[in-house]
Structure 1
Amino acid sequence: MKKLLTPVFAAALGLTLLSGPPADARPAHPVWRAAWGAAPQAPATGFTPNWSQEGFSRQTVRQVVRVTEDGDHARIRLSNAYGTSPLVVTGATLARTDTGASVEPGSVRHLTFGGRRSATVPARGELRSDAAALGLRRLESVTVTLHLAGTTGPATFHSQAWTDTYRAEGDHRADVSGRAFTARTASWYYLSGVEVSGGNPPRKGAVVLFGDSITDGFGSTPNADRRYSDALADRLDRPVVNSGIGGNLVLNDSAWYGERATARFRRDALDQPGVGTVVLLQGLNDIGYSEAARKVGAHPTYKPSPVVTSAELIAAYRALIDAAHDRGVRIVGSTLLPFKGTTHWGPTAERTAAEVDHWIRTSGEFDAVADFARLLAAPADARALNPAYAHPDRLHPNDAGYRLMAQAVAPLV
């Protein structure tokens, strides 16, 4: 019998124990299902240049996402989780993607929010649009366009999209052509979800991939949908939602890379409509940042960087397991990928990773285990990532590595 998560321990880890079933478990019509998602982050410099700190003023931002579920109607979820003032959205549209910033003629739908085309998202809050009558096909790309006529201030965003986002001056929310969208970046802004209803509901619930940069897709080919989550969606007949954040930590908040996993787990994983299984792959940054900081100095990328023990990580994993089970959600644990020869490598990190991986494999506390440490190990040295599956930094997989991970996970979810 599993030990129940106590309120005191849960509070210490930033989790809230829930009573009763989630809202989406109660009968309702229509029933909404997650089709795409991105975990919100506070405005930050991050890995690559982006518009989060400057925000938007009298501009239109156009964002392309790949949905993993079909439906007769669709709606979007906007997040102002890190805004200190209300976000005013003058108007928004949803359309099928053509190429780049262009959309398919005849597919543009003006979105409403409570029956109005304009909307205000409260500071620290989120807002869903009304249903739009646009049938979506599984694995197609859709374009969400937001017109922001006022000045937003710093923007809640998702740093690493691995997909281009476009910006135009003025109001171009209904444009079919992408000609006006002359600026681009590789992040998503305010958009945190696309949900669908109708269609052909899957027999099993959505799979949420929860983790750090490996889950987020670091090193995958940009604008090609070759992340680990994309490769898994290609193999399954059910929704796959990517809730990874590059640089994210399990135990500590990061100014650049989001709230700690134990604080964001409910919002980014358990609150996804229709979630049935979570796949957890996280902890290498907690272990490796202290090693990296010693090598490169006080760089913002590796802050905070305390030395983290295996016992601390295991306690956090147990909290996430209990939180998932309290919601009736399965949770699959993943061993940490080999990382010898990287910025994160060192004697303390090596020992801690081995202890964590042993516990994940042998404890029996996860509902299933994906042993990525063995799957992706180099033939000549199991502590290093196999060069055939490695990005040049030797810390992240390449496209082939992400496909191999998806192949291993598919039977477990």
Structure 2
Amino acid sequence: MPNPAAVFCNDLGGKYELSSGDCLFTDGLSCDAWTLFNERQCGNSHVCASNADCSQEQFCWKNKCSSKGLCRPKPQMCIQLYDPVYGCDGRTYSNACMANSNGVNVAYPGECGKENSIILNLQLYGNTVMAQWSANFKPEKYVLFYAPYPQMDPIASVDLGKTTSLEATLPKQSQYFIAIGAKDSKGGYVYSNIEYFRIADIKALSPGTSWQWQLTGPIDTTIDARMFDIDLFNTPVETISELHKKGRIVICYFSAGTYENWRPDADLFPKSLLEKNLEDRPDEKWLDIRKLDTLAPIIKARLDLAVSKGCDGVEPDNVDAYLNDSGFPITYDDQLHYNIWLSSEAHKRGLSIGLKNDLEQVKDLEPFFDWALNEECFSHGECELLLPFIEHGKAVFGVEYILQPEQFCTLANSFGFDFLKKHQDLDAWRIPCGTLKRVRY
């Protein structure tokens, strides 16, 4: 019968020393193998399943991408040597030390994509779906697999030959999962990532659209407004249905850049994504939006929830981490990449999407967003930065909390903005700036 302590040691990436009974690790850590097996502890390092089981200064070091490992300190300094490794997060790092310093284990030496893989990219333009894919090997032919959403049954397939792109115009309300497959040289199938799209009428929000923004308290559905911006999680489906029956457009709010510990999906966020608290918000932390492989499934699930509840669009909040003390070295380009990704994922699901604040990136992001929502740009004297949305026929919604309507409404109206005076807790109370002559309803 195999020695279970030796097997456990090897599973963790250690080497069992028969003569001493110790479990030896490549970084010099060693301990009695039976103690490790029984107590799940080796010195000051304990057994872990993910980085969430370790402190912020540690990561869950594993033998490649195995299911368990040991909490080990993250390297604080790495030499500038290019000896690329493929991380378990699907990214290439310049060397193993750099991967570990980012809390990532090494899957294998070399650059990402050296194993047979197919990458599928999907874009949606109105009723037209455009797909492109590439493989790092030479398949004889590609096969398109597709299935209706959400059942994923039946699954159908179409031979595509050697083509690496596809464009199709489909009827409204079409909803599908798609993936690309191909046989490798060994005869086994290699599959791409699975993508989802939904073709729907994205509700246009043009300047002059009356609106209401309410995130706290029971939703007052009697307010005479064309668009309602309400909380994705807290608003019952029945309320959304009631608003639709009254001809309202429903936008659903969620935070795309922060972790909120009261949300029903809070347990899905690993500690590796969390860093500093927002100012004056002890129960909310900034997210590391650079780790999109980890974050994407959670955000996609929120967008899917918006679709299932009947939202017409989404308002993702806190999409300007690069301007804040998040605790992460997030750059302008990191934020740009993440925000464009958000837009693409919303549009794939037939949802409109608004750019929340993030004024410094308006010129770069306006082509990707359907409208904008701002807080207190008149208080800060920066509203002109939002004019590209108006120039392209897209609504600019906004609120002021401190200023009185007579201090900002005339200018807001002259810009073509749709502004409200609101309480900071965003209850039902509002004073709209729009004049009867200009408001479209």
Question: What's the TM-score, normalizing by structure 2?
Answer: 0.28
Question: Relative contact order: is structure 1 or structure 2 higher (C-alpha 8 Å, sep ≥ 6)?
Answer: 1
Structure index of larger Rg: 2
